Each structure stands twice: as C-alpha cells, then as structure tokens.
C-alpha cells in the first residue's frame, strides 16, 4: 500500500493540514503501513503519537517503518479496532484517519467517542481518496460531504474541506472539538 506514490502523498498532505506542534499528543486510526505515523512523529518531536489498526499485517509494516521512534518511546502502535480503543491518560490534541472511517462500525458513534478523547479545541482530520473503480472528483466530493455530516452529527464544529488534486482527488475534512 505504501509503495503507491499517491498513498504517500495523500498521507503526508493530510498530516501537513493538521498543524501538528512539537508537544502534541496525536492519535491515528487505521494507520495501514504507517506513512502518516512517520510524518506525525517527525513533527511531534516532544509529544506522543498513538496509532491503532485492527490488522496484524499493517501493525507489522507500520512497526518496521517507525521502529526508531517506537524505540525512542515517541510512537505507540496497537492492534485493535476503533470500537475497542484503550484509555489514554491525558486528552489528545489531534486525531487523524485516512481512508479508514468508511470501514468503521457505526462511524457516527465512533466519532462521538473520539471527540471525548480530544481536549477542548482539539482537531480532527478525516480524509478520503475513493478507491472504487471509476471514481471521479464527484465521488470524492460526495465522500467529503458524508464525512462532514458525520463530524457535525458527532458534535464537531467549524468543519472545512481541503482537496488535493490527485486522480481521483483526495478530500480532507478538518473540524474542531468545541471549547
Ligand atoms: C484503505 S487502508 C488505509 C491505510 C492508511 N491510512 C493509508 O491511507 O495508507 C484502511 C486501514 O484502516 C484499517 N481499519 C479498517 N477498519 C478498522 C477498524 N474498525 N479499526 C481499526 N482499523 C481499521 C485497515 O486495517 C487498514 O489498515
């Protein structure tokens, strides 16, 4: 998965939109091969990056890609599903999920749970690059609208959408946990 150039570009672009600061505590859901985790760790140098993915195969790939940061105690990856998250000691500053929310059981409920893990003013970024055959810019726009609706229903505010012109385009919906 990580060998596709568009996957790497998509993940790096999404992290660039999140405005991660050095001391941030960030969680990624569905990290896959761990490209975004590596980018988050590069930015959150004095913070902590957590990742969950329910696939053993993905955990192995992401662990290999991020082994130095894991060894340094800056990244922690877990094999579990988004509906069985562990407790986090302190509130998170940001949460990200790239091409993953579409697979979650009851995503609106999951997003309510995720919002409860964020500090007031914490950010979330949900991105989608549709991978179905024949996907177009319209498919991306529709996916973005669905993510926006889910985030609003879960109580997030100030949603806005950014688009990266790949083929098909990537949409990233960013939103905030209200104060
Ligand atoms: C299409 S891949 C995207 C991977 C990566 N985010 C990327 O963009 O390259 C979807 C990822 O979400 C994970 N995933 C799907 N459902 C999940 C769930 N319920 N809980 C945790 N991870 C899940 C999959 O194992 C997979 O790694």
Q: What is the pLDDT of residues 25-73, one digit of tens each?
A: 999 999 999 999 999 999 999 999 999 999 999 999 999 999 999 999 9
pLDDT at 4: 74
- Ligand 1 touching residue 103 (CB < 6 A): yes
CB–CB of 77/62 below 8 Å? yes
14 by DSSP, 3-state: which?
Answer: helix
| pTM of the complete model | 0.97
The reply to whether ligand 1 has any atom less than 6 angstroms from the CB of 1 is yes
The two structure tokens encoding residue 35: 């490209």
Domain-wise residue ranges, the chain: 5-176
Distance 99 CA to ligand 1 centre (A): 7
The arrangement of secondary structure in 5-176, i.e. its CATH architecture, is 3-Layer(aba) Sandwich (3.40)
């Amino acid at each position: 998965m990580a060998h596709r150039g568009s996957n790497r570009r998509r993940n790096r672009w999404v992290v660039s939109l999140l405005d991660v600061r050095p001391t941030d505590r960030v969680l990624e859901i569905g990290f896959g091969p761990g490209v975004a985790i590596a980018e988050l760790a590069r930015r959150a140098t004095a913070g902590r990056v957590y990742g969950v993915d329910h696939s053993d195969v993905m955990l192995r790939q992401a662990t290999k890609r991020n082994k130095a940061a894991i060894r340094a105690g800056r990244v922690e990856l877990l094999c579990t599903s988004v509906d069985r998250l562990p407790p986090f000691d302190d509130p998170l500053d940001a949460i990200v999920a790239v091409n993953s929310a579409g697979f979650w059981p009851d995503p609106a409920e999951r997003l309510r749970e995720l919002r409860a893990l964020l500090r007031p003013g914490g950010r979330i970024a949900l991105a989608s690059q549709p991978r179905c055959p024949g996907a177009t810019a319209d498919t991306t726009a529709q996916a973005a609208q669905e993510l926006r609706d889910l985030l609003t229903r879960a109580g997030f505010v100030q949603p806005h959408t950014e688009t990266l012109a790949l083929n098909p385009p990537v949409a990233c919906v960013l939103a905030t946990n209200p104060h």
